[in-house]
Amino acid sequence: MAADTRSEATDKFFDSIIARQATLYDAVRAASDRYHRFNRSVVEGARMSSRDWTEVGRRAIANPRDMVSVYEAISEAVSNQQQRNLALAREWVEDRVEAQRETREVLRQGIGDVREVVERVQAQAPEFLRNVRRRSASNGNGRASKASAKS
C-alpha cells in the first residue's frame, strides 16, 4: 500500500514537471511566432517603401519639369513610411505586452505548483520533524535548548 502511494506521488511529480515544461515550450513557441511575424512585417514594410520611392523616381524621370507630381509622390512615400513605422511600433508594443503576460502566467503557475508541493510535503512530514521545527522556533533557533540541556 505504501509503495502504491509512493508510486502515485512520483507519477504526479513527473506529470507536473512534464506539464510545466510543456507550458514553457508553448511560451517559447509563441515568442518565436511573434518574432517571425514582426520580422515579416519589417521586410514587407521595406518592400513597400522601395516601391514608393521607385514611384518617385519614375515620376521624376517621366516628366522632370512636373515638380508638383514629384512632390506628391515624395509626400505619399514619406507619409506611407510613417504609417508603416507607427504600425510596426504598435505591433512591437503589443507583442511585448503579450510576451509579458505569458511570462507572468508561466511564473505564476510555476510558483503555485511549488507552493502546493511544499504544502503537501509539510503536511505529510512525520510528526517528530514538525515538532523539532516548532521547538527550535520557540527557543530561538535551538540554541537555548542546547544550553538548557547542559544545566
Digit-coded pLDDT (tens) for 81-132: 999 999 999 999 999 999 999 989 988 988 888 888 778 777 777 776 666 6
Q: Which of 34-38, 69-73, 93-97, 142-146 has the lowest mean pLDDT?
A: 142-146
pLDDT band with cut points at 50, 70 and 90 for residue 54 = very high
Contact (CB, 8 A) for 24 and 106: yes
Q: How far apart (Å, rounded) are the C-alpha atoms in residues 49 and 77?
A: 7
Q: How far apart (Å, rounded) are the C-alpha atoms in residues 13 and 16?
A: 5
Per-residue pLDDT, 151: 45
Q: CB atoms < 10 A from the CB of 115, how many?
A: 10
> Residue 71 is placed in which grid cell?
512632390
Of 59, 82, 54, the C-alpha closest to 72 is 59
Whether the per-residue pLDDT at 1 is higher than 60: the answer is: no
Q: How far apart (Å, rounded) are the C-alpha atoms in residues 92 and 111?
A: 28
> Count of alpha carbons within 13 Å of 37, Cβ hemisphere only?
13
Per-residue pLDDT, 131: 67
Tens digit of pLDDT for each residue in 57-88?
A: 999 999 989 999 999 999 999 999 999 999 99
Q: Which residue has the higher pLDDT, 137 or 119?
A: 119
Look at the alpha carbons of 5, 6, 12, 16 in this order and tell me if their dihedral is positive or negative: positive
Q: How far apart (Å, rounded) are the C-alpha atoms in residues 56 and 128?
A: 85
